A and B are shown apart, each in its own frame.
Chain A
């Protein structure tokens, strides 16, 4: 497997408090890797270690096949990042900020500035000082700056903070485009599950500095089960009919008036018709999906934390 980034037993201790402990993550080339976890789970600390801003206490990081050391300047050239929130030289204009960035990165294609500003829908604010921009605009400018040098690995720490719903959708589309058309591998963190769910190929769940799970979205989707939920006062009869008339064995009586059917070979309309014909009063019948959220809440709770 071709990994662009791996961490091996990555650990960081701040004054005896372990912020990150034994994290092993594997990011494949060309994927969007979602980092999920509540606030303070250690997402930013890991990202800072990847960008060399913080040095690991133990363990190591391998990027582009090379071990990351204090002197890995060349590796930094191939990454673009927003850590925590995008910081700029506030008194300089948007364009000046991007120009400075290009100079420091050793990147000289000035046309690229207009191109990225266009990509994030920020054209026309060239001459504005960054301190006059809204948080959402800064967030976009941060993304523009991170992608201007066409990095191979893009690290985005909560990039949708402060964006409005339309902005969120635009950023999501932009990230997908960058991933698909330019083959940029993206590491994105968020505490908003729905966001990650929509774009990530692999998700890792982090809590209290530990990596609890690292799974591909495909396998999660398979895990997720659809079920039919029936609310009725006559649970016992309903259960009897389900089992004997409809030959459904995979169902569960949740409480006195709630049944969940996991076996979906009999359609919802057939179930309701049969039950009604047999004289069972149905108050409600619904098809439901145990969402990703349930899955993650389960994992986080399993880790002993009330998420």
Chain B
């Protein structure tokens, strides 16, 4: 189980391959990649800056992975989240889950993302041609998380 918070980009293929080859018993490796959109609520986005709470972020991600591990028989999971200033189309987050069968990996991957969105202490500030603004949390993210309870 790995949780990383970093400024540098990541290689999705490399992360998937590493996890896959580590587990001969894995029949499924599911991944989610988040990318910075060029448009948010109708505003053109020139960049996105991510702030986080060092220490708590890593703990929070590790706790989310651990909860997923208790709910589904997954073999391993990797979460990478970037911080700092990112341009549209930059990769922002990666979740990779390996399990014996695909159902568990799909479910655990969604669960991890839904919890990450509502619990991990990251905050996005958007730069648009009109200026900078902190993003508000979305009700839809809260509902996505609640369906697991």
The yes or no verdict on A and B being binding partners is no
| A residues with CB within 8 A of B | none
Q: Which residues of B contact A (CB under 8 A)?
A: none
